[in-house]
């Protein structure tokens, strides 16, 4: 117990420290423009798409699989949403519903090949990466589908009215405090007053402070962006699924040792297929945000997004060998990547340099992880 | 004065403040065999890791002299260069490569551009003759049995000009015949002046083979004595620090009606010509411990896999459980029907190493604490975990510790706990005590008797004949996929089982 907590604590600290370093560096380099309310709002809006993709991807990677098709799938689903909206004038709710169901179906399709037909996920999703893009180009004839309706724009472009936003964040903070309190009470009942408790208080305290500061910054610009609220909701749901449910537990077990999990009577095939299905739904949500923000369905949309999602997971401490990872880490990874993008763009760093720096950061993050694990 | 080959002086090794070795000293001359005995976790492996350079010079206290020189190794390569070669329990051969390629892996003869195949071929044949292994140098490793692979490992060591050979539990997965061959080879190497450190839980081998026996307990060097002066019981009491009344604590229990009837079980790999299990029928009674003996490859494990739904080829069997016909097509169905299994290969099929002890224990019954997407009731879960950890005496600092940090015996107990949580009617134990120390073995036997007294029925597959006879009520012997004999435990001897398991002839069913 001591060891595991130590590593995860260490990882968390390392990520927070990296984030802090990035913020301080860019704030100084841009004379404070980096932490202006407007830029913070922009930055976390930029995080939303990769963040949502990372939420789905982290489950796939924890189960020791990979999904290379999410970029193309996001393009295809975004294209479908745009077509429904622009060509057929579907009401927004129906568009959302159809897109999410389509995402689920595509995800389950991938998962069926991986789990029941035993084709390696690398290959299945590489095939999907090509085929989904092909379908998208075929459907749209290679042309942009635009302009999308004003109601679709709500998903990616609107802001939550101030009063609502404040109450949501307020509730979150209260919930957090209540949770920590309940845990402490449960511990006392079990008679295990735990050394990790202090760490948990500190974590909750930091989380509340960060949430309030973010709220202040966002409110002093235009309010909480809708995609961020969507991402926030998905983070809560996904964390719950990963940490609290039998399904989540089985996903970790499958990544840790699939044979032993099978021998324990777990239906590993179905679990794996559901992981891909869940991932597909996350891709659909990301696709809706993307199409709404662009105001169009583009045949090139989502190109290489799978790599950003994978990078976010890995930087966030998810092990490609499976069995290890967390939703929160993946989101931090996405935030770090987005901050680098945003900061370097503000400094007018040429695009080629941005790619090089991001590549190096990815390499460095994983190297650090390997090193700390070895030191144990 | 004769020069000592190996002299390890008061080795102390600590891990974050905990002393794993507390001043262990051993000496060894050329041509001598030293056995190191101790329960799992006693420090044997740590000592060997210090000796072989896994823990580099400077990370431990004390000194190692080899051929009179102080050893300052920083990697395994350094000690191999000196002539110290360790052969691990898990063999380190590349399955896809040939015997020759494995023996010369990393030490290839020839230039970078062109390998000297003729020379390597010739040398391989010589080495194989030395270890009395009658296979061609071009045979792929995957076509060899475990025992033969072990001999290839020894040949590989000989090729490196080994002076001190360390064998870590070499016989734990070998059959009796294979063990005899291996022991003969070691004796011959001994005559050629090669020293050997032998680590094993099998005390009969230890006594037959060694000149000296060193016992380690909790990192302390208990004693080193000449093997000729020792009996198995002496060693056991030194290892556990107390006298064990008996190895097999048989307890009286009632045997009831037939609970399981298996008819015409047949199992075959897709495309194979020979069936691994062929037309096996047997019965199991309530409260009975049924032992299944036979050589490795006789189909014991495969028969169990058919009962548990985990056989990976085609299989058929008429299975009747408490009078009901059941069709077991997966592990899930087996568990639902009331059959649980502790698999043979603990690491591959038993544990999820990075998960905690507690979470491993509840993996089979998570559905009991929640439905698929409902929250797991962790209070209820941890109550069950604590219960079973206490009942089965799983020694762990906390239920939240990763299971990989536990000793083999305690991992095994956790896996048994996982099975018991499903409340099975029938518990299958495939090699339940392999690689487990004496103390934990005893506890597992005790537990088995407690379970059958509660009315559970147990099928135990084991290669250790003394265990089969000591624990079972009835013993089935398998040979080449078929059931060849059936015995009551009373009056049963190891010779009777071996005769039945090895010799061709009329079945005694």
Instruction: Give the one of B336, B353, B379 whose C-beta lies nearest to A256's C-beta.
Output: B353
CB contact under 8 A, A244 and B341: no
> How many Å apart are CA B171 and CA A240, to the nearest integer?
47
Query: B340-368, pLDDT tens digit by residue?
Result: 999 988 888 999 999 999 999 999 999 88
At residue B74, the pLDDT reads 87
Which residue spans within B227-276 are E strands per DSSP? 258-268
- Which residue(s) pair with B115 in the sheet? B110
Residue among A246, A253, A256 minimizing CB distance to B370: A246
Q: Cβ contact (<8 Å) for A253 and B363? A: yes
Is A3's Cβ below 8 Å from some Cβ in B?
A: yes
Q: Where exactly are the structural domains of chain A?
A: 10-375
Does the predicted interface ipTM exceed a cut of 0.85? no
Q: Which residues pair with B460 in a beta bridge?
A: B291, B429
- Give Cα separations from B286 to B191, B256, B283, B332 (angstroms): 53, 5, 10, 22
Chain B residues whose CB is inside 8 A of the A241 CB are 373
A6 confidence band (pLDDT: 50, 70, 90): low
pLDDT bucket at A190, cuts 50 / 70 / 90: low
Q: Using DSSP, state whether B446 is helix, strand or coil.
A: helix
Take residue A21 and report the two structure tokens written for it.
């370093």
Q: Is residue B346 part of a domain?
A: no
Beta bridge partners of B508: B485
Indicate yes or no: CB of B371 within 8 angstroms of CB of A246.
yes
Smallest CA-to-CA distance from A250 within A13, A37, A38, A59 is with A59
Question: Within this chain, do residues B216 and B287 fall inside the same structural domain, yes or no?
Answer: no
Say whether B16 sits in a helix, a strand or coil. Answer: coil
**Is the residue at B156 inside a domain?**
yes
Enter the tokens of residue A265. Answer: 């009577």
B374 with A245: Cβ contact below 8 A = yes
Rounded-to-integer distance, Cα A111 and Cα A103, Å: 12
Residue A279 pLDDT > 80? yes
In a domain, B359, yes or no: yes
B152 and B17 belong to one structural domain: yes
Residues B171, B55 within the same domain = yes
Q: Which chain A residues touch B396 with a CB distance below 8 Å? A: none
How far is the C-alpha of B256 from the C-alpha of A259, rounded, in Å?
A: 35
pLDDT value for A222: 83
Q: Is B248 helix (H, G, I), strand (E, B) or coil?
A: coil
Q: A3-17, A323-337, B125-139, B236-250 — which is least confidently predicted?
A: A3-17
Distance CA A313, CA A52 (A): 11
- B71 and B145 part of one domain: yes
With CA atoms as reference, report the closest residue to B477 among B334, B222, B298, B235: B298
Q: How far is A139 from chain B (nearest CA, A)?
A: 36
Residue A132 above 60 pLDDT?
A: yes
On chain A, the residues whose CB falls within 8 A of the CB of B56 are: none
Residue where a domain stops, chosen among B399, B423, B447: B423
Residues 6+ apart with CB under 8 A from B490: none
Q: Identify the CA nearest to B250 among candidates B508, B65, B492, B480.
A: B492
Over pLDDT 70: what percentage of chain A? Answer: 93
Which of A17, A12, A19, A13 minimizes the C-alpha distance to A343?
Answer: A19
* Least confident interval from A50-59, B473-482, B490-499: B490-499
**What does the pLDDT look like over B374-427, one tens digit per residue?**
788 888 899 999 999 999 989 888 888 889 888 888 999 999 999 999 999 999
pLDDT at A198 over 80: no
Supply the pLDDT for residue A2.
41
3-class SS string, chain A: CHHHHHHHHHHHHHHHHHHHHHHHHHHHHCCCHHHCHHHHHHHHHHHHHHHHHHHHHHHHHHCCCCCCCHHHHHHHHHHHHHHHHHCCCCCHHHHHHHHHHHHHHHHHHHHHHHHCCCCCHHHHHHHHHHHHHHHHHHHHCCCCECCCCHHHHHHHHCEECHHHHHHHHHHHHHHHHHHHHHHHHHHHHHCCCCCHHHHHHHHHHHHHHHHHHHHHHHHCCCCEEHHHHHHHHHHHHHHHHHHHEHHHHHHHHHHHCHHHHHHCCCCHHHHHHHHHHHHHHHHHHHHHHHHHHHCCECCCCCCCHHHHHHHHHHHCCCCCCCCCCCHHHHHHHHHHHHHHHHHHHHCCCCHHHHHHHHHHHHHHHHHHHHHHHHHC
Contacts 24+ apart (CB under 8 A), B56-60: B59/B13, B60/B11, B60/B12, B60/B13, B60/B21
Residue B191 and residue B88 share a domain:
yes
What is the number of alpha carbons within 13 Å of residue B73 lying toward its C-beta?
A: 23
Average pLDDT of chain B, as a whole number: 87
- Cα separation of A82 and A297, whole Å? 5
* A150 contacts: CB under 8 Å, gap ≥ 6: none
Which A residues in the span 222-241 are in contact with B, Cβ-Cβ below 8 Å? 240-241
| pLDDT higher than threshold 50 for residue A82 | yes
Chain A touched by B382 (CB under 8 Å): yes
Token pair 């891709």 in the structure block, residue: A283
Q: Does residue B208 lie in a domain region?
A: yes
Considering Cα of A131, then A136, then A140, then A143, what sign does the dihedral take? negative
The reply to whether A147 touches chain B by the CB within 8 Å rule is: no
**Interface membership of B374 toward A (CB under 8 Å):** yes
Spell out the residues 6+ positions from residue B76 whose beta carbon is closer than 8 angstroms to its own: B52, B53, B54, B86
Specify if B86 maps to a domain: yes
Predicted pLDDT of residue B105: 85
Residues from chain A that touch B336, judged by Cβ atoms under 8 A, are 265
Last residue of a domain, one of B367, B398, B423: B423
CB within 8 Å: A3 and B402: yes
How many domains does chain B contain in total? 3
CATH topology of domain A10-375: ABC transporter involved in vitamin B12 uptake, BtuC (1.10.3470)
Q: In this predicted model, what pLDDT tens digit does every residue of B437-466 receive, in sequence order? A: 778 888 899 999 999 999 999 999 998 888
**Is the CB of residue B116 less than 8 Å away from at least one CB of chain A?**
no
Last residue of a domain, one of B240, B270, B294: B240
More confident residue, B434 or B139: B139
Q: Give the residue, A184 or A90, on which the prediction is more confident.
A: A90
Residues B228 and B259 in one domain: no
Cα torsion B479, B485, B489, B491: sign: negative
The answer on B369 and B278 residing in a single domain is no
B418 plus B436 within the same structural domain:
no
pLDDT > 90? residue A52: yes
Indicate if B234 and B289 belong to the same structural domain.
Answer: no
Q: Cβ of A154: how many Cβ atoms within 10 Å?
A: 13
Sign of the C-alpha dihedral, residues B386, B390, B394, B396? positive
* R_g (Cα) of chain B, nearest Å: 24
A247 to chain B: nearest residue by CA?
A: B372
Chain A: closest CA distance from residue B272 (Å)? 22
Q: State how far the alpha carbon of B63 is from the alpha carbons of A88, A289, B51, B59, B373, in Å.
A: 83, 66, 10, 11, 58
Q: Which residue of chain B comes nearest to A267, CA vs CA?
A: B332
pLDDT tens-digit readout, B162-206: 899 999 887 766 777 778 888 888 888 888 889 999 988 778 888
> Is residue B344, in this structure, part of any structural domain at all?
no
**B1 falls within a domain:** no
Quickly tell me which residue has 């299971």 as its tokens: B403
Whether residue B416 sits in one domain with residue B433: no
pLDDT tens for residues B246-269? 678 888 899 999 999 999 999 988
Q: Which of A225, A118, A221, A120 lies closest to A168 in space, CA to CA? A: A225
CA distance B350 to chain A (A): 5
Helix (H, G, I), strand (E, B) or coil at B27: strand
Cβ proximity of B370 and A245 under 8 Å: yes
Q: Scanning the structure block, which residue is given the tokens 């472009």?
A: A157
Cis before residue B351, ω within 30 degrees of 0? no
Taking CA atoms, A168 is separated from A45, A210, A303, in Å, by: 18, 15, 34
Please report whether residue B347 resides in a domain: no
Do B436 and B405 lie in a common domain?
no
What tokens does B62 get? 């004390």
pLDDT in tens, A199-257: 777 777 888 888 888 888 888 888 888 999 899 999 999 999 999 899 999 999 999 99
Of B335, B349, B355, the CB nearest to A259: B349
Q: Do A265 and B364 touch (CB under 8 A)?
A: yes
The CA–CA distances, whole Å, from B412 to B250, B305, B309, B393, B422 equal: 20, 18, 21, 11, 16
A182 close to B (CB below 8 A): no
Same domain, yes or no, for B302 and B393?
Answer: no
Element (H, E) at B186: helix B176-191
Distances (CA, A) of B218 to A354, B25, B198, B238: 56, 15, 19, 12
Which CATH number belongs to the domain containing residue B509 in this structure?
A: 3.40.50.300
Contact B371 A252 (CB under 8 A): no
Structural domain containing residue B492: 245-338+425-509
């Amino acid at each position: 117990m001591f060891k595991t907590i130590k590593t995860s604590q260490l990882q968390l600290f390392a990520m927070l420290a990296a984030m802090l370093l990035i913020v301080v560096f860019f704030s100084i380099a841009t004379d404070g423009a980096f932490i202006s309310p407007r830029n913070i709002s922009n930055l976390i809006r930029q995080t939303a798409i990769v963040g949502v993709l990372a939420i789905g991807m982290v489950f796939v990677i924890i189960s020791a699989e990979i999904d290379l098709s999410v970029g193309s799938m996001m393009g295809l689903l975004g294209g479908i949403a745009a077509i429904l909206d622009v060509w057929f004038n579907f009401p927004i709710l129906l568009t959302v519903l159809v897109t999410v169901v389509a995402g689920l179906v595509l995800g389950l399709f991938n998962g069926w090949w991986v789990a029941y037909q035993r084709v390696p996920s690398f290959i299945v999703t590489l095939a999907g990466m090509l085929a989904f893009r092909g379908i998208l180009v075929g459907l749209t004839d290679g042309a942009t589908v635009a302009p999308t309706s004003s109601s679709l724009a709500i998903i990616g472009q609107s802001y939550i009215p101030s009063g609502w936003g404040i109450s949501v964040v307020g509730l979150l903070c209260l919930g957090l405090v209540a949770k920590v309190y309940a845990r402490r009470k449960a511990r006392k009942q079990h008679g295990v007053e735990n050394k990790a408790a202090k760490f948990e208080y500190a974590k909750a305290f930091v989380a509340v402070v960060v949430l309030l500061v973010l709220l202040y910054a966002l409110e002093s610009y235009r309010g909480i962006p809708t995609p961020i609220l969507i991402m926030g909701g998905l983070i809560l749901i996904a964390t719950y699924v990963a940490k609290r449910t039998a399904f989540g537990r089985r996903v970790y077990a499958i990544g840790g040792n699939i044979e032993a999990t099978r021998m324990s009577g777990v239906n590993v095939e179905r679990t794996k297929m559901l992981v891909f299905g869940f991932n597909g739904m996350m891709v659909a949500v990301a696709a809706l945000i993307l199409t709404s923000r662009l105001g169009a369905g583009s045949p090139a949309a989502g190109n290489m997004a799978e790599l950003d999602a994978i990078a976010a997971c890995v930087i966030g401490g998810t092990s490609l060998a499976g069995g290890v990872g967390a939703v929160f880490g993946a989101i931090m990874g996405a935030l770090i990547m987005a901050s680098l993008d945003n900061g370097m763009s503000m400094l007018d760093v040429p695009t080629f340099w941005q790619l090089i720096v991001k590549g190096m950061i990815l390499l460095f993050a994983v190297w650090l992880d390997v090193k700390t694990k070895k030191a144990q | 004065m004769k020069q000592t080959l190996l002299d390890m002086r008061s080795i102390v090794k600590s891990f974050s403040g905990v002393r794993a070795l507390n001043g262990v000293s051993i000496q060894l001359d050329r041509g001598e065999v030293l056995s190191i005995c101790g329960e799992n976790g006693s420090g044997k492996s740590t000592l060997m890791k210090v000796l072989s350079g896994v823990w580099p010079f400077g990370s431990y206290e004390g000194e190692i002299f080899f051929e009179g020189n102080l050893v300052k190794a920083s990697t395994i390569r350094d000690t191999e260069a000196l002539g110290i070669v360790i052969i691990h329990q898990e063999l380190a051969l590349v399955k896809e490569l040939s015997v020759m390629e494995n023996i010369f892996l990393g030490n290839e003869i020839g230039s970078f551009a062109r390998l000297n195949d003729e020379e390597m071929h010739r040398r391989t044949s010589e080495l194989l003759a030395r270890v009395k292994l009658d296979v061609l140098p071009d045979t792929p490793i995957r076509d060899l049995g475990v025992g033969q692979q072990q001999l290839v490992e020894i040949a590989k060591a000989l090729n490196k000009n080994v002076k001190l050979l360390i064998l870590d539990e070499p016989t734990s997965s070998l059959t009796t015949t294979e063990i005899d061959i291996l022991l003969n080879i070691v004796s011959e190497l001994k005559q050629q002046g090669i020293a050997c450190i032998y680590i094993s839980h099998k005390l009969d081998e230890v006594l037959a083979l060694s000149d000296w026996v060193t016992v380690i307990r909790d990192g302390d060097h208990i004693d080193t004595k000449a093997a000729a002066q020792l009996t198995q019981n002496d060693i056991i009491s030194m290892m556990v620090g107390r006298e064990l009344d008996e190895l097999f604590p048989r307890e009286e229990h009632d045997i009831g009606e037939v609970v399981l009837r298996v008819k015409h079980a047949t199992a075959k790999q897709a495309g194979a010509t020979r069936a691994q299990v062929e037309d096996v029928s047997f019965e199991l009674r309530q409260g009975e411990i049924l032992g299944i003996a036979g050589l490795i490859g006789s189909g014991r494990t495969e028969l169990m896999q058919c009962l548990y739904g985990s056989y990976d080829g085609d299989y058929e069997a008429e299975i009747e459980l408490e009078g009901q016909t059941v069709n077991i097509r997966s592990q899930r169905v087996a568990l639902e029907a009331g059959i649980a299994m502790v698999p043979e290969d603990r690491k591959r099929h038993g544990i999820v190493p990075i998960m905690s002890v507690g979470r491993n224990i509840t993996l089979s019954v998570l559905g009991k604490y929640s439905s698929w997407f409902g929250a797991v009731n962790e209070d209820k879960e941890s109550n069950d975990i604590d219960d079973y950890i206490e009942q089965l005496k799983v020694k762990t600092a906390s239920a939240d510790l990763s299971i990989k940090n536990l000793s083999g015996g305690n991992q095994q107990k956790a896996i048994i706990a996982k099975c018991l949580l499903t409340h099975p009617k029938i518990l299958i134990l495939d090699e339940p005590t392999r690689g487990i120390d004496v103390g934990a073995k005893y506890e597992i036997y005790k537990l088995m008797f407690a379970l059958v007294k509660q009315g559970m029925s147990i099928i135990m597959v084991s290669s250790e004949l003394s265990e089969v006879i000591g624990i079972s009520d009835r013993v089935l012997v398998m040979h080449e996929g078929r059931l060849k004999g059936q015995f009551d435990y009373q009056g049963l001897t190891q010779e009777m089982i071996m005769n039945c398991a090895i010799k061709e002839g009329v079945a005694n069913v």
